[in-house]
Chain A
Amino acid sequence: MVAPNHVCLLQKYFYGLKQAPRAWHKWFSSFVQWSGFSPSTSDPSLFVYTVVADITYLLLYVDDIILTASSTLVLRRLTKLLHSEFTVTHLGDLHDFLGISVTHSVDGLFLS
Protein backbone atom coordinates (compact mmCIF):
# COMPACT_ATOMS: atom_id res chain seq x y z
CA MET A 1 0.00 0.00 0.00
CA VAL A 2 1.26 3.47 -0.91
CA ALA A 3 0.09 5.34 2.19
CA PRO A 4 -0.38 2.87 5.04
CA ASN A 5 -1.21 5.55 7.63
CA HIS A 6 -3.79 7.33 5.55
CA VAL A 7 -7.56 7.04 5.69
CA CYS A 8 -10.30 8.06 3.28
CA LEU A 9 -12.27 11.10 4.41
CA LEU A 10 -15.67 10.53 2.84
CA GLN A 11 -17.04 13.44 0.81
CA LYS A 12 -20.33 11.92 -0.28
CA TYR A 13 -23.22 10.01 1.21
CA PHE A 14 -22.42 6.38 0.55
CA TYR A 15 -24.77 3.46 0.38
CA GLY A 16 -24.75 2.16 3.92
CA LEU A 17 -24.17 5.43 5.78
CA LYS A 18 -26.89 5.91 8.37
CA GLN A 19 -27.61 9.47 7.32
CA ALA A 20 -27.60 8.79 3.55
CA PRO A 21 -31.37 8.39 2.85
CA ARG A 22 -32.21 11.53 4.81
CA ALA A 23 -29.53 13.55 3.03
CA TRP A 24 -30.71 12.35 -0.39
CA HIS A 25 -34.32 13.31 0.32
CA LYS A 26 -33.23 16.74 1.52
CA TRP A 27 -31.03 17.27 -1.56
CA PHE A 28 -33.73 16.19 -4.00
CA SER A 29 -36.39 18.17 -2.20
CA SER A 30 -34.38 21.38 -2.28
CA PHE A 31 -33.56 20.93 -5.96
CA VAL A 32 -37.20 20.47 -7.04
CA GLN A 33 -38.32 23.33 -4.80
CA TRP A 34 -35.71 25.55 -6.40
CA SER A 35 -37.19 24.43 -9.74
CA GLY A 36 -40.68 25.57 -8.75
CA PHE A 37 -42.26 22.51 -7.13
CA SER A 38 -43.92 22.74 -3.73
CA PRO A 39 -43.88 19.80 -1.34
CA SER A 40 -47.31 18.57 -0.30
CA THR A 41 -48.17 19.28 3.32
CA SER A 42 -49.74 15.85 3.78
CA ASP A 43 -46.88 13.83 2.25
CA PRO A 44 -43.32 15.17 1.92
CA SER A 45 -42.64 12.70 -0.91
CA LEU A 46 -45.24 14.36 -3.15
CA PHE A 47 -44.25 17.51 -5.01
CA VAL A 48 -46.69 19.68 -6.95
CA TYR A 49 -45.83 22.10 -9.74
CA THR A 50 -48.51 24.47 -10.95
CA VAL A 51 -48.00 26.83 -13.83
CA VAL A 52 -51.02 28.65 -15.24
CA ALA A 53 -53.49 25.87 -16.08
CA ASP A 54 -50.96 23.03 -16.03
CA ILE A 55 -50.31 20.89 -13.00
CA THR A 56 -47.60 18.29 -12.40
CA TYR A 57 -47.31 15.71 -9.64
CA LEU A 58 -43.99 14.15 -8.71
CA LEU A 59 -43.75 11.17 -6.34
CA LEU A 60 -40.40 10.16 -4.92
CA TYR A 61 -39.51 6.82 -3.39
CA VAL A 62 -35.75 6.85 -2.72
CA ASP A 63 -34.43 6.63 -6.31
CA ASP A 64 -37.72 5.92 -8.06
CA ILE A 65 -39.77 8.80 -9.43
CA ILE A 66 -43.29 8.94 -10.83
CA LEU A 67 -44.02 12.03 -12.87
CA THR A 68 -47.47 12.89 -14.18
CA ALA A 69 -48.73 16.12 -15.73
CA SER A 70 -51.80 17.57 -17.35
CA SER A 71 -49.86 18.14 -20.56
CA THR A 72 -47.20 16.14 -22.40
CA LEU A 73 -45.23 19.31 -23.03
CA VAL A 74 -44.88 20.12 -19.33
CA LEU A 75 -44.02 16.49 -18.58
CA ARG A 76 -41.25 16.56 -21.18
CA ARG A 77 -39.89 19.85 -19.89
CA LEU A 78 -39.72 18.65 -16.29
CA THR A 79 -38.12 15.34 -17.29
CA LYS A 80 -35.43 17.38 -19.03
CA LEU A 81 -34.97 19.43 -15.89
CA LEU A 82 -34.37 16.29 -13.80
CA HIS A 83 -31.91 15.06 -16.43
CA SER A 84 -29.96 18.30 -16.10
CA GLU A 85 -29.31 17.71 -12.39
CA PHE A 86 -29.26 13.92 -11.89
CA THR A 87 -28.20 10.85 -13.83
CA VAL A 88 -31.72 9.69 -14.60
CA THR A 89 -32.91 6.63 -16.49
CA HIS A 90 -36.21 7.37 -18.23
CA LEU A 91 -38.26 4.18 -18.02
CA GLY A 92 -41.16 5.46 -20.15
CA ASP A 93 -44.81 4.89 -19.21
CA LEU A 94 -45.36 3.87 -15.60
CA HIS A 95 -45.41 0.08 -15.41
CA ASP A 96 -44.07 -0.97 -12.04
CA PHE A 97 -43.76 1.04 -8.80
CA LEU A 98 -43.24 -0.33 -5.29
CA GLY A 99 -44.52 -3.75 -6.28
CA ILE A 100 -47.66 -2.37 -7.94
CA SER A 101 -47.72 -3.28 -11.60
CA VAL A 102 -49.62 -0.88 -13.80
CA THR A 103 -51.21 -1.74 -17.14
CA HIS A 104 -52.42 1.04 -19.40
CA SER A 105 -55.72 0.56 -21.22
CA VAL A 106 -58.27 2.73 -23.00
CA ASP A 107 -60.41 2.82 -19.84
CA GLY A 108 -57.56 4.00 -17.63
CA LEU A 109 -54.99 2.23 -15.49
CA PHE A 110 -55.15 -1.32 -14.19
CA LEU A 111 -53.26 -1.90 -10.96
CA SER A 112 -52.25 -5.35 -9.77
Chain B
Amino acid sequence: MRATHSQMGSLSSPMQGMALLQRPASLASPLPGNCHATLADVNWHMAVAEEYKALIDNGTWCLIPRPPRANIITDKWVFKLKYHVDGSLARQKARWVVHGLSQQYDIDYDETFSPVVKLATIRVVLGITASRSWPIHQLDVKNVFLHGHLNETDYCV
Protein backbone atom coordinates (compact mmCIF):
# COMPACT_ATOMS: atom_id res chain seq x y z
CA MET B 1 0.00 0.00 0.00
CA ARG B 2 1.27 3.46 -0.86
CA ALA B 3 2.27 5.62 2.06
CA THR B 4 -0.09 8.45 1.32
CA HIS B 5 -2.98 6.05 0.90
CA SER B 6 -2.43 4.47 4.27
CA GLN B 7 -2.12 7.85 5.93
CA MET B 8 -5.28 9.08 4.34
CA GLY B 9 -7.05 5.83 5.09
CA SER B 10 -6.85 6.46 8.80
CA LEU B 11 -8.49 9.87 8.51
CA SER B 12 -12.23 10.20 8.73
CA SER B 13 -12.70 11.45 5.16
CA PRO B 14 -10.62 11.67 1.98
CA MET B 15 -11.13 15.45 1.93
CA GLN B 16 -9.56 15.72 5.35
CA GLY B 17 -6.61 13.76 3.99
CA MET B 18 -6.23 16.13 1.04
CA ALA B 19 -6.32 19.08 3.39
CA LEU B 20 -3.46 17.53 5.34
CA LEU B 21 -1.35 17.00 2.25
CA GLN B 22 -1.93 20.51 0.93
CA ARG B 23 -1.17 22.32 4.15
CA PRO B 24 1.49 25.00 3.76
CA ALA B 25 4.84 24.11 5.32
CA SER B 26 4.45 26.62 8.13
CA LEU B 27 1.43 24.71 9.44
CA ALA B 28 3.23 21.35 9.61
CA SER B 29 3.47 19.69 13.00
CA PRO B 30 6.82 20.52 14.61
CA LEU B 31 9.52 17.84 14.44
CA PRO B 32 9.26 15.61 17.50
CA GLY B 33 12.39 15.28 19.64
CA ASN B 34 11.94 11.55 20.20
CA CYS B 35 9.61 8.65 19.53
CA HIS B 36 7.51 9.27 22.66
CA ALA B 37 6.78 12.83 21.58
CA THR B 38 5.09 11.51 18.42
CA LEU B 39 2.26 10.12 20.54
CA ALA B 40 1.01 13.65 21.03
CA ASP B 41 0.59 14.32 17.30
CA VAL B 42 -1.63 12.16 15.12
CA ASN B 43 0.34 12.81 11.89
CA TRP B 44 3.68 11.87 13.41
CA HIS B 45 2.11 8.93 15.15
CA MET B 46 0.84 7.65 11.79
CA ALA B 47 4.27 8.14 10.21
CA VAL B 48 5.86 6.06 12.98
CA ALA B 49 3.18 3.39 12.65
CA GLU B 50 3.79 3.19 8.90
CA GLU B 51 7.55 2.74 9.31
CA TYR B 52 7.03 0.19 12.06
CA LYS B 53 4.66 -1.77 9.82
CA ALA B 54 7.27 -1.82 7.02
CA LEU B 55 9.86 -3.14 9.49
CA ILE B 56 7.55 -5.84 10.84
CA ASP B 57 6.26 -6.86 7.38
CA ASN B 58 9.84 -7.34 6.19
CA GLY B 59 10.83 -9.51 9.17
CA THR B 60 13.70 -7.20 9.99
CA TRP B 61 14.78 -8.57 13.36
CA CYS B 62 14.23 -11.39 15.81
CA LEU B 63 14.34 -11.21 19.58
CA ILE B 64 17.00 -13.40 21.18
CA PRO B 65 18.56 -13.69 24.66
CA ARG B 66 21.50 -11.29 24.86
CA PRO B 67 24.72 -13.16 23.94
CA PRO B 68 27.68 -12.50 26.26
CA ARG B 69 30.07 -9.76 25.04
CA ALA B 70 27.80 -8.80 22.13
CA ASN B 71 28.35 -5.29 20.80
CA ILE B 72 24.98 -3.58 20.93
CA ILE B 73 24.36 -0.99 18.21
CA THR B 74 22.42 2.08 19.25
CA ASP B 75 19.47 3.40 17.25
CA LYS B 76 17.18 6.37 16.88
CA TRP B 77 14.13 7.69 15.08
CA VAL B 78 14.63 10.31 12.40
CA PHE B 79 11.73 12.63 11.59
CA LYS B 80 11.59 14.65 8.40
CA LEU B 81 9.17 16.91 6.60
CA LYS B 82 9.03 16.20 2.86
CA TYR B 83 7.99 19.01 0.52
CA HIS B 84 6.62 19.21 -3.01
CA VAL B 85 8.52 21.30 -5.56
CA ASP B 86 6.14 24.22 -4.92
CA GLY B 87 7.04 24.22 -1.22
CA SER B 88 3.83 22.66 0.08
CA LEU B 89 4.07 19.83 2.55
CA ALA B 90 4.20 16.41 0.87
CA ARG B 91 4.34 14.23 3.94
CA GLN B 92 5.72 13.69 7.39
CA LYS B 93 8.20 10.86 7.34
CA ALA B 94 9.55 8.75 10.16
CA ARG B 95 12.51 6.41 9.71
CA TRP B 96 14.07 4.07 12.23
CA VAL B 97 17.85 3.99 11.81
CA VAL B 98 20.82 2.49 13.59
CA HIS B 99 23.97 4.40 14.50
CA GLY B 100 26.64 3.08 12.11
CA LEU B 101 29.26 4.71 14.33
CA SER B 102 28.46 2.29 17.14
CA GLN B 103 29.36 -0.65 14.90
CA GLN B 104 32.81 -2.19 15.36
CA TYR B 105 34.88 -3.13 12.32
CA ASP B 106 35.42 -6.90 11.88
CA ILE B 107 32.81 -7.65 14.54
CA ASP B 108 29.71 -6.00 13.12
CA TYR B 109 30.77 -5.35 9.51
CA ASP B 110 33.62 -5.72 7.04
CA GLU B 111 33.45 -4.28 3.53
CA THR B 112 31.51 -1.07 2.97
CA PHE B 113 32.54 0.34 -0.42
CA SER B 114 29.62 0.90 -2.77
CA PRO B 115 29.89 2.29 -6.30
CA VAL B 116 28.12 5.51 -7.22
CA VAL B 117 27.01 6.40 -10.73
CA LYS B 118 29.37 8.76 -12.58
CA LEU B 119 28.01 12.04 -13.87
CA ALA B 120 29.62 11.33 -17.25
CA THR B 121 27.60 8.10 -17.52
CA ILE B 122 24.36 9.98 -16.87
CA ARG B 123 25.25 12.53 -19.56
CA VAL B 124 26.05 9.84 -22.13
CA VAL B 125 22.81 7.97 -21.47
CA LEU B 126 20.75 11.19 -21.63
CA GLY B 127 22.57 12.09 -24.85
CA ILE B 128 21.74 8.78 -26.51
CA THR B 129 18.13 9.01 -25.31
CA ALA B 130 17.69 12.55 -26.61
CA SER B 131 19.29 11.93 -29.99
CA ARG B 132 17.14 8.87 -30.63
CA SER B 133 13.95 10.21 -28.96
CA TRP B 134 13.66 7.18 -26.69
CA PRO B 135 11.19 7.16 -23.79
CA ILE B 136 12.97 7.74 -20.48
CA HIS B 137 11.39 7.00 -17.13
CA GLN B 138 12.28 7.51 -13.53
CA LEU B 139 11.59 5.07 -10.71
CA ASP B 140 12.21 5.07 -7.02
CA VAL B 141 12.60 2.00 -4.80
CA LYS B 142 10.99 2.12 -1.35
CA ASN B 143 12.79 0.84 1.74
CA VAL B 144 15.83 -0.26 -0.29
CA PHE B 145 17.87 -1.50 2.60
CA LEU B 146 15.18 -3.87 3.75
CA HIS B 147 15.92 -6.02 0.69
CA GLY B 148 18.38 -8.85 1.02
CA HIS B 149 19.41 -10.77 4.07
CA LEU B 150 22.01 -9.47 6.52
CA ASN B 151 25.12 -11.64 6.38
CA GLU B 152 26.86 -10.19 9.40
CA THR B 153 25.73 -10.49 13.01
CA ASP B 154 24.47 -7.20 14.43
CA TYR B 155 22.53 -6.65 17.65
CA CYS B 156 20.34 -3.82 18.74
CA VAL B 157 18.20 -3.19 21.83
Once the chains bind, are B152 and A19 in contact (CB under 8 Å)?
yes
The CA of A26 and the CA of B144, in the complex, are separated in Å by: 12
Asked, given contacts A8-B155, A10-B155, A64-B138, whether A23 binds B63 with beta carbons under 8 Å apart, the answer is: no
Asked, given contacts A7-B64, A12-B148, whether A61 binds B139 with beta carbons under 8 Å apart, the answer is: no
Once the chains bind, are A111 and B148 in contact (CB under 8 Å)?
no
Number of interface residues of A (CB under 8 A): 66
The CA of A36 and the CA of B72, in the complex, are separated in Å by: 40
The CA of A63 and the CA of B142, in the complex, are separated in Å by: 7
Once the chains bind, are A100 and B97 in contact (CB under 8 Å)?
no
**Neighbouring B residues of A102 by C-beta, 8 Å:** 126
Looking at chain B, what size class is its interface with the partner chain? 35 or more
Q: Contact check: which of A10, A68, A91 meets B140 at CB < 8 Å? A: A91
Once the chains bind, are B97 and A16 in contact (CB under 8 Å)?
yes
Within 8 A of A (CB), among B92-122: 95-100, 103, 108-119, 121-122
Once the chains bind, are B64 and A46 in contact (CB under 8 Å)?
no
| B90: min CB distance to chain A, Å | 12
**Neighbouring A residues of B37 by C-beta, 8 Å:** none
| B143: min CB distance to chain A, Å | 6
Once the chains bind, are A11 and B59 in contact (CB under 8 Å)?
yes
| B106: min CB distance to chain A, Å | 11
Given pairs A9-B154, A17-B145, A66-B137, 17 additional interface contacts (CB within 8 A):
A10-B150, A13-B147, A14-B60, A17-B103, A18-B109, A19-B111, A20-B145, A21-B145, A27-B147, A28-B144, A59-B122, A64-B140, A67-B136, A68-B125, A68-B135, A98-B117, A100-B122
Interface residues, chain A, with chain B CB atoms under 8 Å away = 3, 5-28, 40, 42-46, 57, 59-70, 72, 75, 79, 82, 86-98, 100, 102, 108-109, 111
